[in-house]
Amino acid sequence: TKQEKENPLGIKYIVADASKIRFNKEFDFAVANLLFCNISNYNTMKQIFKRISRAVNDTGELVFSIPHPCFAHLHKTRYVERIFPKNYNYFNSGQKHKVKIRGKEYEIEFTNYNWTLEDYAKVFKKHFVLIDLKESRSATYEIQSGIPMYLAFKLKKLKQFPKLPLLKMYTSRLA
């Protein structure tokens, strides 16, 4: 990036198609902002988590965000509208819906796919452990409506932890 060239910090930034990355333990940290809501196939999502796991080192982390799947069907703001089919069902994994983003001089429409929180947990638990989960609450819409628009997950590479079932790891950390 321009900033890295002007004031080098030794940070390597990569923007790439997550389904095609082929790195091996080269990164400390990976970010996937609103990536998984654009994935139409569960197996592709599994493959992406596997590739990201391979790309981060053994102490690596992944932070990713998604539209809050429990409330996405309620979101309609001046700038963003999610249009769900009449038969929308949160538990219907991979169900597609339209998203419209409006600016002063443009409108963009594209397709998103709904995945349940269980879907995400099933996919990442083979490679990562959940360290933190945040629901957004800073936008005016979120404050006024009381409905979070986004979820952010912070995960750590599973190799850092003993091979315990996820529930046992979680409960032991609470004690």
Residue 160 has pLDDT above 90, yes or no: no
Residue 50 has pLDDT above 60, yes or no: yes
Residue 18 has pLDDT above 80, yes or no: yes
Instruction: Please list the alpha-helical segments (H only) found in 1-130.
Output: 2-6, 42-55, 117-124
| Residue whose entry in the numeric block shows the structure tokens 């339209």 | 98
Q: Read off the pLDDT band of 165 (50, 70, 90).
A: low
- CA-CA distance, 87 to 69, in Å (whole number)? 16
Q: Read off the pLDDT band of 79 (50, 70, 90).
A: confident
The pLDDT tens digits for 146-156 are 888 889 999 99
| Pair 72, 82: CB distance under 8 Å | yes
- DSSP assigned state of 175: -
The pLDDT tens digits for 92-144 are 999 999 999 988 899 999 999 999 999 999 999 999 999 999 998 876 777 77
Mean pLDDT over 12-25 rounds to 86
Mean pLDDT over 74-99 rounds to 88
Maximum Cα–Cα distance across the chain: 54
Q: Read off the pLDDT band of 46 (50, 70, 90).
A: very high
| Pair 69, 147: CB distance under 8 Å | no
| Residue whose entry in the numeric block shows the structure tokens 């089919």 | 85
Residue 69 has pLDDT above 80, yes or no: yes
